[in-house]
Structure 1
Amino acid sequence: MAEHFRIPEHILDAIAAHRQACRDPMAAFFYDLPVLAAQGGAMKAALPPGVELYYAIKANSEAAIIDTLAPVVDGLELSSGGEIARACACSTPRPWVLSGPGKLDADMHEAMTRGVEAFHVESLGEVTRLQAIAASLDLVQPVLVRINPSLPADLSSRLRMAGTATPFGIDEAQLADAVRAVDDAPNLTLVGFHVHAMSHQTCGQRHQRLLSSYLERWPRWRALARHPEQVIQLNVGGGIGVNYLRPYEQFDWPGLCQALGRRLAAMHEPPLVRFEIGRFLSAFCGYYVIEVLDTKVSHGEGFLVCRGGTHQFRLPAAQGHNHPVIHLPRAPQRAREGECRPWTVVGQLCTPKDVLSRQQQLQGVAVGDLLVLPLAGAYGYNISHADFLCHPRPDQVFVRDGREGSAPETRSHRRAEPVR
Structure 2
Amino acid sequence: MKKYLVALTTVTVVGLSGVFLSDAVQAETIGEIQDERSSIKADLSDAEAKIADVLMELKELNDEIERVDEALVQNREMIATTEEDLTNTEEEVSLLEDEISELEEVIEIRFDILKGRVKSYQKSGGNIGFLDVLFGSASFGDFISRVTAVTKIADSDTRLMEKQEEDKAVLEEKQDKVMTKLTELKDMKSELEGMNALIIEQQEENEDKKKELKKKERNLLELKAELQVKDSNLAALEEQINRSVTTTESGTNSDGNLTQLSSKTSNKVSSKPVQRVSGNGNLNTAINVGYNHLGTPYVWAGKSPGGFDCSGFVSWAFAQGGYSIPSSTAGLQSTGTKVSYSNVQPGDLVFFNTYKTNGHVGIYVGNGNFIGAQNSTGVAVANMTSGYWKNHFAGHVRRVR
TM range (shorter): under 0.3
Structure having the higher helix fraction is 2
User: How high is the TM-score relative to the length of structure 1?
Assistant: 0.17
Structure showing greater Rg: 2
Structure having the higher strand fraction is 1
Bigger relative contact order, structure 1 or 2, given CA contacts below 8 A and separation 6+?
A: 1
